[in-house]
Amino acid sequence: MTNINDAELTENGLNDLATGRVLLIACGALAREILDLKKANHWDHMDLTCLPAKLHLYPDKITEAVKEAVAKHRADYDEIFIVYADCGTGGLLQAACDDMGVQMVAGPHCYSFFEGNEQFAVQSESEFTAFYLTDFLVRQFEAFVIKPMGLDRHPELRDMYFGNYTKLVYQAQTNDPALTEKAKEAAKTLGLAFERRQTGYGDLEVALKAL
């Protein structure tokens, strides 16, 4: 199966001129969810291209990558929508989108818009010791958590990184028992209590429906 999370993914001929079409420029970590929503809602007017999910490890590179993608595809589409939240860019991505005249998903990060931005804002006031995982991050736990933090080589660093956390919250987009078990194992690995929430697609679905 092709890995749609870590390589650029395109659908339906991005280089073909089209009228009335929308291009979604998205984080690769959201590719599976967007494709599921497109299929379920018959959003055939939307095309998708994904930037590498590993950009989240280097948030200072996200804004420039998005700008390059918009410049590359702008002439082929009537509308471009950026499927990123702020994602650690410190407002730079929003400023760039404003300058380019394109919209993006509202919120500080995907944990917020999956939960629903309003709900997350309320919960985060009393949940600042929670560590969040989405479906994607459960699947890619080793690649996006363990290895970048060096815990595969130095497991003794776990308490230094996670000593101030009390629980792992798994925000489930789908109802997959195998993913739930994997999320429980992740919590055990990090020495955290486990909580599962069925968030579905939250404000991501709301934002895409508006298109």
Dump the DSSP string for 56-119.
GG-GGGHHHHHHHHHHHHGGG-SEEEEE---TTSTTHHHHHHHHHT-EE--SSSHHHHHH-HHH
Q: pLDDT band for 124, please (50, 70, 90 cuts).
A: confident
| pTM for this entry | 0.87
Question: What CATH code is carried by the domain that includes residue 94?
Answer: 3.40.50
CB-CB contact of 194 with 165 (8 Å): no
pLDDT in tens, 140-157: 999 999 999 999 999 999
| Pair (157, 136) in one structural domain | yes
In the prediction, which pLDDT does 168 show? 98
| Pair (119, 62) in one structural domain | no
| Pair (86, 127) in one structural domain | no
| CA dist., res. 103 & res. 98, Å (int) | 7
Structural domain of 152: 115-198
| Pair (169, 124) in one structural domain | yes
Q: Which residues on adjacent β-strands are paired with residue 46?
A: 22
| Pair (121, 89) in one structural domain | no
Domain assignment of residue 176, yes or no: yes
Average pLDDT over residues 85-110: 97
Question: Tokens standing for 14?
Answer: 């991005």
